[in-house]
A and B are shown apart, each in its own frame.
Chain A
């Protein structure tokens, strides 16, 4: 969730920038003096840059939310699969047991835990938006590349339950020689959603 204060601060910054821009655009003569030139640099470059940076940060943060991902109707079945009452379904177990932040459920597992992983994920997201609004949706939605163990190990590496249960092949898992999904193979089983039972969270209503 985006804090209210962040939105208000950005709104105030944008309003200030717009007012100063309006004044200097209407009366550019003000920018002829030495101080005016400094003011022009601040108003025409620094403040818009700050607005752009803050806006981008806000939009990037908000695009990590589960609601954002599920707002495309093609993603709705994947969102529903998080509520399936099946202990072997990997995303559902993580989501229902709060092993991941529910507000960022999609992003937590589908980003790449590398230096530019977030940006890479967002770039892929922009491609999704293009395809969603302007392109043709593929019949079956697939990952761009095979799911990496790195994303699982980002959280599970060194965890007591993981280490004790995977003692025999932890080296292979870390080396990527065995995929986690070879054993944990029930992921978003969207084709089996129709007959599947849903878990009802007693504290909140399911989407």
Chain B
């Protein structure tokens, strides 16, 4: 009995001493992985509001420039058409109502985008 019990005890001790070793290993490996992952994602994405992500900021800027450009091009087209009717009230109205409005909107939108977008226009 004593031999059996001593053998069990020695086996349990051996198990107990072995368990912490097994659990410690993954902890040591996991700690640096867990801390390294957020750093990597922060470098890649960052806060979208502070312009740390160039691709996102560039996309925003591109979208804003496209919108502004579209407004301005429509306004210029309207102005061109209004010049065909120069010296007619219709031409004057087309200029004042359509061309002037679209060009002014395009310019104001661009200025708004730039004023907001010192964050969104990235440095190359």
Interface residues of A (CB under 8 A from B): 2, 7, 10-11, 14, 17-18, 21-22, 24-25, 28-29, 31-34, 36-37, 40-41, 44-45, 48-49, 51-52, 55-56, 58-59, 62-63, 65, 67-68, 71-72, 125-126, 129, 132-133
Contact = CB atoms under 8 A, between A and B. Distances in A.
A21 B76 contact: yes
Contact of B106 (A11, A34, A48, A68): A48
A59 B73 contact: no
Contact of A62 (B75, B86, B124): B86
Nearest to A32: B124
Given A14-B76, A59-B82, A68-B88, A45 B111 contact: yes
Q: How large is the interface on B (under 10, 10 to 19, 20 to 34, 35 or more residues)?
A: 35 or more
Interface of B: 58, 61-62, 65-66, 68-70, 72-73, 75-77, 79-80, 82-83, 86-89, 91-93, 95-96, 99-100, 103-104, 106-107, 110-111, 114, 121-122, 124
If over half of B's interface residues share one DSSP class (helix, strand or loop), that class is named, otherwise mixed; here it is helix
The 4 A-B residue pairs with the shortest CB-CB distance, nearest first, are A25-B69, A28-B62, A28-B65, A44-B110
A32 B122 contact: yes
Given A56-B95, A129-B93, A48 B111 contact: no
A51 B68 contact: no
Contacts of B88: 68, 71
Given A62-B91, A63-B92, 8 more contacts: A21-B76, A25-B70, A29-B58, A36-B124, A49-B107, A59-B96, A68-B92, A71-B89
B71 to A, nearest CB: 9
Contacts of B96: 59, 126
B86 A32 contact: no
A7 B88 CA distance: 15
A115 B117 CA distance: 40
Contacts of A11: 80, 83
24 contacts: A2-B87, A11-B80, A18-B77, A21-B72, A25-B69, A28-B65, A31-B61, A31-B121, A40-B110, A45-B107, A48-B72, A51-B103, A52-B79, A52-B99, A55-B79, A55-B95, A55-B99, A58-B86, A63-B87, A67-B87, A71-B89, A126-B96, A129-B92, A133-B89
